[in-house]
């Protein structure tokens, strides 16, 4: 199928002659009798190519071409200038403002067809290159996403977290902002895998990841840091507010139930919390190390709790912020009540034990 052409020429006689020649060659032609009309038709008809006379009464072809090439809607349309002017300066001016070719009147039909074919071929090549570049960019984004995303949970992976941590830590140092880090580890997760299988463990990890992201702001970043370990970066957040976020995370993790083989389980987590005020060095990894120390203290204190890092202490380097019950290990028989721990179980006969591992007293995340 031949291309759609726009012919802009204010000479009725010359326009008719050129239009007839183009139609004989099989092209579909839209005619404009002035520069202003040509600009309007170029926007509304989206031609494949513009044939543009240089000398016109209202605005000359150079001005029309300049406008076409400056406008985002029309800049990619090839323009062939048509004129009786043969001076080199005129040709150079037309090409300098973006014309794709310059054809002096009078011309033979074969020459006109050859120029049009060449211009359309160049346009098609450019379009193909543009499409390929877009495909390559899309593939690159996909590869980058694969390289920075954890396949199971959809969260960022440890490598991506390290990149963001370095950037945010530098910004925090420069502008003296606050930055906090949470390190979350699921309690006794290995025993879930051992007892119910890795598919069950994967289900737990995916749901915990979803609950973590659902508890955060858009500016926060969550990543899978290890097997059952997650890390959260909270920009513009001091330790007090970070502790509130951590308690909310812990609450959201605890209230999710999982049904494996007829047993309804809940899981708990230990969370270490640290802020940039705890780090005297310029090494961003020290912020994660501080959160890791607090996480260790949370586990040592019985798990199922949030612990804040305490800088400057030699023997007790972190202090607890919640008084949750300890989280004992699995497995335990489903037919007898388990000890206080991170799981609740639906017992036979419709008797249901309450979720275990709840904090003693009021949960700070429950509000009033």
Q: What is the 3-state secondary structure (H, E, C) of 186-226?
A: ECCHHHHHHHHCHHHHHHHHHHHHHHHHHCCCCCCEEEECC
pLDDT confidence of residue 344: 32
* pLDDT at residue 353 greater than cutoff 60: no
Integer Cα distance of 226 and 287 in angstroms: 17
Beta-bridge partner residues of 52: 8, 81
Query: Which residue segments constitute the domains of the chain, with CATH numbers given?
Result: 4-129 (3.40.50.2300), 153-366 (3.30.70.270)
Give 350's contacts (C-beta < 8 A, 6+ positions apart). none
pLDDT band at 305 (very low <50, low <70, confident <90, very high): very high
Percent helix, percent strand, percent coil in the chain, to nearest 5:
45, 20, 35
Question: HSE-up of 305 (CA within 13 Å, CB side)?
Answer: 23
User: Would you say residue 338 has pLDDT above 50?
Assistant: no
Whole-number average pLDDT of the chain: 85
Q: Which of 12, 23, 128, 228 is catalytic?
A: 228
User: By C-alpha distance, which of 280, 249, 294, 285 is closest to 267?
Assistant: 249
- Given a cut of 90, is residue 286 above it in pLDDT? yes
Measured in degrees and rounded to the nearest 5, phi and psi for residue 200 equal -65, -40
Q: What is the mean pLDDT of residues 248-252?
A: 95
Q: pTM of the predicted model, to two decimals?
A: 0.59
pLDDT for 368 equals: 36
CA atoms within 13 A on the CB side of 175: 10
Q: State yes or no: is 247 an active-site residue.
A: no
**Residue 104 pLDDT level (bands cut at 50, 70, 90):** confident
């Amino acid at each position: 199928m031949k291309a759609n052409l726009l012919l802009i020429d204010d000479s009725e006689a010359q326009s008719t002659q050129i239009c007839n020649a183009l139609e004989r060659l099989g092209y579909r032609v839209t005619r404009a009798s002035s520069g202003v009309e040509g600009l309007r038709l170029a926007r509304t008809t989206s031609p494949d190519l513009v044939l543009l006379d240089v000398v016109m009464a209202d605005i000359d072809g150079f001005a029309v071409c300049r406008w076409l090439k400056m406008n985002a809607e029309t800049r990619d349309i090839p323009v062939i200038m048509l004129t009786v002017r043969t001076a080199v300066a005129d040709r150079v001016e037309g090409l300098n403002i973006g014309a794709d070719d310059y054809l002096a009147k009078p011309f033979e039909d074969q020459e006109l067809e050859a120029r049009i074919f060449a211009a359309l071929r160049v346009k098609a090549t450019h379009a193909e290159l543009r499409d390929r570049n877009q495909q390559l960019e899309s593939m690159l984004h996909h590869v980058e996403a694969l390289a920075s995303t954890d396949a199971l949970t959809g969260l960022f992976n440890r490598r991506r977290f390290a990149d963001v941590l370095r950037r945010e830590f530098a910004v925090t140092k420069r502008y003296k902002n606050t930055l906090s880090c949470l390190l979350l580890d699921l309690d006794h997760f290995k025993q879930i895998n051992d007892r119910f299988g890795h598919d069950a463990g994967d289900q737990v990890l995916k749901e915990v990841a979803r609950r973590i992201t659902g508890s955060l702001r858009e500016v926060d970043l969550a990543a899978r840091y290890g097997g059952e370990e997650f890390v959260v970066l909270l920009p513009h957040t001091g330790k007090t507010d970070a502790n509130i976020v951590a308690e909310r995370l812990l609450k959201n993790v605890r209230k999710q139930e999982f049904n494996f083989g007829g047993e309804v389980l809940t899981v708990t987590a230990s969370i270490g919390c640290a802020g940039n005020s705890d780090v005297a060095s310029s090494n961003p990894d020290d912020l994660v190390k501080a959160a890791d120390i607090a996480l260790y203290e949370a586990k040592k204190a019985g798990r199922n709790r949030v612990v804040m890092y305490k800088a400057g202490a030699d023997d007790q380097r972190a202090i607890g912020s919640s008084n949750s019950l300890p989280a004992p290990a699995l497995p335990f028989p489903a037919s007898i009540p388990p000890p206080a721990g991170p799981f609740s179980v639906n017992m036979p006969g419709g008797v249901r034990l309450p979720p275990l591992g709840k904090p003693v007293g009021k949960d700070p995340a429950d509000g009033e």
